[in-house]
Structure 1
Amino acid sequence: MNLRFITPTLHGVADYTAGIGLIIAPFLLGLGQSSHIAVWFSVVTGLAVFVASLLTDYKYSLARVIPFQGHLAIDLLVAVTFMIVPFVFALTGIDAIYYWFNATVVFLVVSLSASK
């Protein structure tokens, strides 16, 4: 039984959705109680996710410059970064939980994504 059921196409849809979510969610959730970094790190990461998605070799891409395996490596780097951001910037409460939750989701998506 193969647990890697997220196709590159589905992963791409998730990426665009995540990019938009990372830009909008901090404002909807009222992040920034422990530091304004909680808001702006998410927004900048969301923009980077969106750009990386436009450049990844999968459906709905603008230019297929980044191989899908390279994209998964970038996603892992984002997940690890999200895990440590609360410690590095002394985020607490909802700010920290937001990053740990997103790190967990990214780890899951990468681990369940099928390579081409």
Structure 2
Amino acid sequence: MPQITVDHSATLADDFDRPAFARALHTAVVEIAAARLPACKTQFRPAADTVVGDESEGHAVVHVTVGLLAGRDDDTKARLTETVLDLLRRHVRQSPGRTLHASAEVRDLAPSYRTFDRP
């Protein structure tokens, strides 16, 4: 915990500094939500196709989901969500002719969530 998933348009490959984004987000999750840095895990999932409305050209999408163990209040989750959006603004380069649609959510992991680490 936390489990972070970043779904994004594959067309952002050259314009999204994913490693820097993940490092900055991990730091923010530690500072805002009291997570442990070694527990922060981020997976990036590029989507080959993106359609917004009825258009497939000129748009890119990024959606970040942060799953935390229950116990954080709504203000903490909202602050973390706003921080995620700010980090996306800094780590996804603008491209002429492309509209970036960015979103984020912070949610509680299900009570059944379990994990293990194997060296």
Task: Say yes or no: TM over 0.5.
Answer: no
Please identify which structure carries the higher strand content.
Answer: 2
Larger Rg: 2
Please identify which structure carries the higher helix content.
Answer: 1
TM, length-normalised to structure 1: 0.37
